[in-house]
């Protein structure tokens, strides 16, 4: 089974996945953690790390995935955070930057940085698609 922790996509991944019949046999459910407070309260993401690295960073993507895994006791967790626009935060990464985090109960962890060009919804949809592809690859590496 797997779970998701979504920020930039705001539930798009969970929504897409649940379009398929019998998905409840593999999908536990997901966390939508758009605010920093929700990342902290629901997933245990460190507020000091958010301050240090920014909510859109490899460090926070990894903490989100690990937190989702712990909260759900599943085999795999996928997280996603990024800037959809129209603005990014300060002089950190530009709009279109996305971090996708993956971890599993076997101790593996991976974060991938992606960049997408387009308006807000195009970036969010491209991020959703990339995350699903990465989750599939990550799971298949074990099986």
For the chain, domain boundaries = 2-142
Query: What's residue 87's pLDDT?
Result: 77
Q: Nearest to residue 112, comparing CAs of 103, 104, 125, 123?
A: 103
- Fold of the domain built from segment(s) 2-142: Maf protein (3.90.950)
Tens digit of each residue's pLDDT (9 = 90 or more) over 84-116: 998 777 667 899 999 999 999 999 999 999 999
Six-digit token pair at 115?
């960049």
* Residue 81, H or E segment: strand 76-82
Do residues 12 and 6 touch, judged by C-beta distance below 8 A? yes
Q: Which residues contact 108 (CB under 8 A, 6 or more apart)?
A: 102, 138, 141, 142
Report if pTM > 0.85: yes
Do residues 60 and 98 touch, judged by C-beta distance below 8 A? no
Tens digit of each residue's pLDDT (9 = 90 or more) over 9-51: 999 999 999 999 999 999 999 999 999 999 999 999 999 999 9
């Amino acid at each position: 089974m797997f779970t998701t922790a979504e920020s930039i996509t705001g539930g798009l991944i969970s929504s897409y996945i649940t379009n398929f019949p019998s998905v409840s046999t593999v999908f536990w459910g997901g966390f939508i953690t758009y605010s920093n407070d929700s990342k902290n309260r629901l997933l245990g993401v460190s507020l000091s790390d958010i301050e240090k690295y920014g909510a859109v960073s490899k460090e926070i993507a990894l903490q989100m995935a690990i937190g989702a895994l712990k909260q759900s006791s599943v085999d795999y967790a996928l997280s996603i955070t990024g800037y959809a626009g129209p603005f990014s935060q300060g002089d950190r990464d530009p709009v279109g930057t996305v971090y996708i985090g993956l971890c599993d109960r076997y101790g593996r962890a991976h974060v991938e940085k992606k960049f997408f060009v387009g308006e807000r919804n195009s970036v969010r949809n491209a991020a959703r698609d990339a995350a699903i592809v990465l989750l599939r690859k990550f799971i298949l590496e074990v099986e």
